[in-house]
Amino acid sequence: MKNKVKLLDVVALTDDLPERELRRGQVGTVVEVLAPDVYEVEFTDNDGRTYAELAVNADKLLILRYEPVAA
């Protein structure tokens, strides 16, 4: 991964995780750094209820950006 994932980053899955009933593109928040390139990600619904929380490798995450980033 080109940019390092950080605590509280908003991320999206880049692959389906059928064993957890999660699909590529689902959005979550990094809530813990577990190991180098392994992050605890919390997925919540529109009402703020957590429906999944799991460890995800950095290569399965895309950091979402809401502001321009300098090249």
**Domain count along the chain:** 1
CB 23 within 8 A of CB 13: yes
Residue 28 lies in a domain: yes
For residue 1, tell me if it sits in a domain: no
| Cβ partners under 8 Å of residue 50, min gap 6 | 42, 43, 44
Whether residue 68 lies inside any domain: the answer is no
Closest CA to 66 of 23, 12, 13: 12
Whether residue 40 lies inside any domain: the answer is: yes
State which residues form the domain around 45.
10-63
CATH code of residue 22: 2.30.30
Would 26 be classed as within a structural domain?
yes
Instruction: Tell me what pLDDT residue 62 has.
Output: 97
Question: Which tens digits make up the pLDDT trace of 16-65?
Answer: 999 999 999 999 999 999 999 999 999 999 999 999 999 999 999 999 99
pTM of the model: 0.89
Would you say residue 34 lies in a domain?
yes
